[in-house]
C-alpha cells in the first residue's frame, strides 16, 4: 500500500469556462415582495453578491497556491483513493492528531490551524497534523456501493493513520467528524487514545436501571426538565436539541436538509451538481445559520470571521471535484445505519475533551455527557460556531493545545 504525493490541481480550462458561463447566465428564483430574512432559506440579496464575486473576483489559483503549501498525498484504502494532508512536526513530544470535518465543509475548514498546531504556536503543545478528505468529500474517491456510512469512514480513517505510521493517535471531530470520531473512540481504543469534539452526541439520562443506580440525581433532573423546560432546569441555552429525531422538521426548522439528504439524495443532487448557484446557496444557508455572528446576523451573508474567499474556496472544491452528491449521501447512510445509532448511546471510555463554542447548533448538558463519556477537558468559548477552526482559529488552536498538554501531563499519549 503505497502513499503517493498529490498536488491540488488547477481547474481545467473547459470546466472553468463552463462555470463562468453558468454564473454569468444565472436565473434567480422568484421571491416574496416582503423581506422575510432567512426564514425561507438563503435570500437573493445574500446569494447574488457572492455569485458575482465568484464570477468576477475569486481566483482559484491563489487559493490553490495556499493549499499546496502543505504536503498532500493519496493512498488506496479499501478500494478508494483517499486524499490527505500530512504535516509532521519537528518538535519533540508532538502528538499525532487526526482532524475530521463534516458537511458542508471539507479539509479547507482547517486551513488556518495547520501551521500553529504543527509548530506548537506560542511554545505550546505541537502535533503531527493529518487532515483527510472523507470518501466522497473533496479529492478522495466517492463510495462505490451502498452502506458506506460513518462506521466505514471510521475504519478507513484508522487504516489511514496506521498506514502513515501512527499506531496511536488523537482525534478531533466536528459535525460528521464528531460521529466518526466517537465510533473510533468506542471501537478502536488501542489506536485512538483520546477524542476531542465540538459537537458531542449522546442520549439523555433516561431512567434506566443503570442510570438510576449510577446517576440518580442526573436522571431526576432530566425528568424535571421534561416537565419544566430545559432552560429552567439547566439554564438558558445549556440544552439545544436538533429535534426529537434525525429529521424532526416540526421541532427543528433546521432539519429540512437532513430530511431530504437522508431520504432522497439522488434527486437533490441534480440541482446541486448542475447549478453552481444552487450549490453555493445550499452551502451558504448553513455557513450563515451555523456560524456565530456577533451582531446583525439577519443582514449578513457570512459572519465577519469567515471571508468570501474562504467560503468560495470551500464551494469551489465541491464544484471542481463534483463531490456534493456523494457528500450528501452520508446522511442517507447514517439514517439507515443501526450500528451508528447504537454508537450514539454507547459509552466513550477513552479520555475525551469537549469544547462548546457559543454559536454551536446543538448543545447537551454537561451532566448528560458525563454519563456516557470520560470527559477530562471541557470549555465553553465565548465566540465561534459550528466551524470554530475557520471562525475563531486562535481559540480553537488554544483548545487543542490545552487538551494535548493535559494528555501529556496524564501520560495518556
Alpha-carbon distance of 407 to 56, in angstroms, equals 48
Q: Which residue has the higher pLDDT, 338 or 60?
A: 60
Q: Residue 267 is inside which H or E element, if any?
A: helix 265-274
| Residue 262, pLDDT above cutoff 90 | yes
Q: Residue 274 is inside which H or E element, if any?
A: helix 265-274
| Over residues 118-137, mean pLDDT | 97
Provide the 3-class DSSP secondary structure of residue 31: coil
| Residue 107, pLDDT above cutoff 80 | yes
Largest interatomic CA distance in the chain? 66
| Residue 340, pLDDT above cutoff 80 | no
Distance in Å from the first CA to the final CA of the chain: 27
Provide the 3-class DSSP secondary structure of residue 263: helix
The region, left, alpha or beta by phi > 0 then psi within -120 to 50, assigned to residue 396 is: alpha
Q: What is the pLDDT of residues 11-26, one digit of tens each?
A: 999 999 999 999 999 9
Q: What is the pLDDT of residues 145-172, one digit of tens each?
A: 999 999 999 999 999 999 999 999 999 9
| Residue 406, pLDDT above cutoff 90 | yes
Contact 304, 150 (CB under 8 A): no
How many Å is the Cα radius of gyration of the chain?
Answer: 21
**Nearest-CA neighbor of 55 among 22, 25, 20?**
20
- The pLDDT assigned to 127 comes to 98
Q: How confident is the model at residue 129 (pLDDT cuts 50, 70, 90)?
A: very high
Contact 99, 86 (CB under 8 A): no
Question: What global pTM score does this model have?
Answer: 0.96
| Residue 310, pLDDT above cutoff 90 | yes
Provide the 3-class DSSP secondary structure of residue 348: strand
| Residue 344, pLDDT above cutoff 90 | no
**Nearest-CA neighbor of 126 among 117, 135, 134?**
117
Q: What is the pLDDT of residues 225-245, one digit of tens each?
A: 999 999 999 999 999 998 878
Query: What does the DSSP assignment read for 105-143?
Result: --GGGGTTTHHHHHHTGGG---EEEEEEPPTTSTTSPPP
Alpha-carbon distance of 379 to 365, in angstroms, equals 13
| Residue 1, pLDDT above cutoff 80 | no
The region, left, alpha or beta by phi > 0 then psi within -120 to 50, assigned to residue 243 is: left
- The pLDDT assigned to 247 comes to 79
- The pLDDT assigned to 251 comes to 85
| Residue 41, pLDDT above cutoff 80 | yes
Q: What is the pLDDT of residues 49-80, one digit of tens each?
A: 999 999 999 999 999 999 999 999 999 999 99
**Nearest-CA neighbor of 333 among 116, 58, 147?**
147
Share of the chain above pLDDT 90, in %: 92
Bridge partners (DSSP) listed for residue 173: 100, 197
Residue 363 per-residue DSSP state: B
Contact 280, 273 (CB under 8 A): no
Amino acid at each position: 500500500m503505497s502513499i503517493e504525493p498529490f498536488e491540488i490541481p488547477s481547474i481545467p480550462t473547459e470546466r472553468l469556462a463552463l462555470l463562468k458561463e453558468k454564473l454569468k447566465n444565472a436565473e434567480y428564483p422568484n421571491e416574496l415582495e416582503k423581506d422575510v430574512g432567512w426564514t425561507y432559506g438563503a435570500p437573493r440579496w445574500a446569494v447574488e453578491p457572492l455569485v458575482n464575486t465568484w464570477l468576477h473576483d475569486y481566483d482559484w489559483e491563489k487559493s490553490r497556491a495556499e493549499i499546496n503549501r502543505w504536503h498532500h498525498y493519496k493512498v488506496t484504502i479499501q478500494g478508494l483513493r483517499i486524499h490527505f494532508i500530512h504535516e509532521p512536526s519537528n518538535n519533540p513530544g508532538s502528538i499525532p492528531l487526526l482532524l475530521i470535518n463534516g458537511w458542508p465543509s471539507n479539509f479547507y475548514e482547517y486551513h488556518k490551524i495547520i501551521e500553529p498546531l504543527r509548530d506548537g504556536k506560542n511554545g505550546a503543545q505541537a502535533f503531527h497534523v493529518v487532515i483527510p478528505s472523507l470518501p466522497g468529500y473533496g479529492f478522495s474517491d466517492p463510495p462505490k456501493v451502498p452502506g458506506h456510512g460513518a462506521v466505514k469512514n471510521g475504519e478507513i480513517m484508522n487504516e489511514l493513520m496506521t498506514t502513515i505510521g501512527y499506531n496511536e493517535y488523537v482525534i478531533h471531530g466536528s459535525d460528521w467528524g464528531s460521529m466518526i470520531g466517537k465510533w473510533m473512540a468506542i471501537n478502536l481504543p488501542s489506536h485512538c487514545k483520546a477524542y476531542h469534539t465540538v459537537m458531542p452526541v449522546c442520549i439523555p439520562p433516561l431512567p434506566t436501571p443503570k442510570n438510576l443506580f449510577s446517576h440518580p440525581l442526573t436522571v431526576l433532573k432530566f425528568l424535571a426538565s421534561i416537565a419544566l423546560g430545559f432552560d429552567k432546569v439547566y439554564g438558558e441555552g445549556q440544552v439545544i436539541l436538533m429535534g426529537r429525531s434525525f429529521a424532526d422538521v416540526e421541532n427543528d426548522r433546521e432539519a429540512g436538509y437532513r430530511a431530504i439528504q437522508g431520504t432522497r439524495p439522488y434527486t437533490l443532487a441534480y440541482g446541486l451538481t448542475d447549478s453552481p448557484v444552487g450549490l453555493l446557496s445550499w452551502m451558504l444557508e448553513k455557513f450563515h445559520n451555523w456560524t456565530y455572528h456577533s451582531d446583525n446576523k439577519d443582514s449578513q451573508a457570512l459572519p465577519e470571521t469567515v471571508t468570501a474567499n474562504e467560503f468560495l474556496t470551500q464551494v469551489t472544491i465541491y464544484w471542481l471535484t463534483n463531490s456534493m452528491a456523494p457528500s450528501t449521501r452520508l446522511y442517507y447512510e447514517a439514517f439507515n445505519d443501526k450500528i451508528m445509532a447504537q454508537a450514539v448511546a454507547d459509552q466513550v471510555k477513552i479520555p475525551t475533551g469537549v469544547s462548546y463554542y457559543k454559536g454551536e447548533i446543538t448543545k447537551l448538558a454537561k451532566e448528560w455527557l458525563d454519563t456516557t463519556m470520560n470527559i477530562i477537558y471541557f470549555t465553553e468559548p465565548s465566540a465561534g460556531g459550528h466551524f470554530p477552526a475557520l471562525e475563531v482559529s486562535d481559540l480553537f488552536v488554544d483548545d487543542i493545545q490545552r487538551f494535548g498538554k493535559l494528555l501529556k501531563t496524564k501520560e495518556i499519549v
